[in-house]
Amino acid sequence: MIYPEKCIGCSSCELACSFQHTGEFRPTKSRISAIRWPKMGVSVPLTCLQCEDPSCMKVCMVGAITKDKETGLVSINQEKCIGCRLCTAACPFGNINYDPEEAIVFKCDLCDGEPQCVEFCPNNAIEYREATDALLQRKKKVSAKFAEILEEVR
């Protein structure tokens, strides 16, 4: 669960994520990123939403992207990936990226259940929890409003 109102745009999540996955502190290799509006003092952390019906998975012809039925995690099997990169273009949220150095596509993998971004966020703007009724309620509300605004900007 993401709480943009709590995000202070400090980049801790990006650094923690890139370090966890690549051993380097490089936000460009992070699976999460904070979109910032410094003048307004506003920022929003964004990462893979582990979609119900993921576009990335749909366009992957070799079954390298799968969604775990139990955990809901959408993950990439690097071994199976043939590098067509269609997933990076298909994700409407831009949450799969291509790393030209390693020649792989990458996305959030929830750090096997212990997301480092959550761990290192100083203000609890990102949480990783079981979905409770209250949380789902909030999610629904947010997404309804989100959809509304999305329609407007399109």
Partner 1 sequence: MIKIRVNGKPVAIHDEDKTLLDVIKEIGINIPALCYHPGLPARGSCRLCVVEITKPSWNGRSKIVTSCLYPCEDGLEVLTHSPKVIKLRKVIIKLLLARCSDSKELQELALQYNADVSRFGTKENEKCILCGLCTRACEEMGIEAISMVNRGWKKEVAPPYYEPPENCIGCGACAEVCPVGAIELTETNGIRRIWNREFEIQKCVECGKYFATVAQLEHLHNKYGIPLKDLKTCPECSKKRVGTVLKKTFFD
Binding site for partner 1 (CB under 8 A): 4-5, 33, 35, 37, 40, 42, 44, 46, 55, 58-59, 61-64, 77, 79-86, 88-98, 103, 142, 145-146, 149-150, 153
Q: Minimal distance in Å, beta carbon 96 to partner 1?
A: 7
Instruction: Write the DSSP symbol of residue 131.
Output: P
Q: How far is the CB of 148 from partner 1 (least distance, A)?
A: 8
Report, in Å, the least distance between residue 71 CB and partner 1.
20
CA distance 84 to 153: 31
Backbone angles phi, psi at 25, to 5 degrees: -95, 80
Half-sphere exposure in the Cβ direction for 122 (13 Å, CA): 6
Choice between 20 and 97, CB closer to partner 1: 97
Q: Using the minimum distance from each CB to partner 1, give the nearer residue, 81 or 110.
A: 81
| Residue 44 vs 111, nearer CB to partner 1 | 44
Nearer to partner 1, 114 or 137 (CB): 137
What gap in Å lies between CA 31 and CA 94, rounded to an integer?
Answer: 10
Dist CA 49 CA 39 (whole Å): 27
Is the CB of 104 or the CB of 131 nearer to partner 1? 104
CB 33 to partner 1: min, Å: 6
| Least Cβ distance, residue 70 to partner 1 (angstroms) | 18
Q: Which two tokens stand for residue 2?
A: 């993401």
> How many secondary structure helices (H) and strands (E) does the chain include?
5, 6
- Closest CA relative to residue 74, chosen from 85, 59, 64: 64
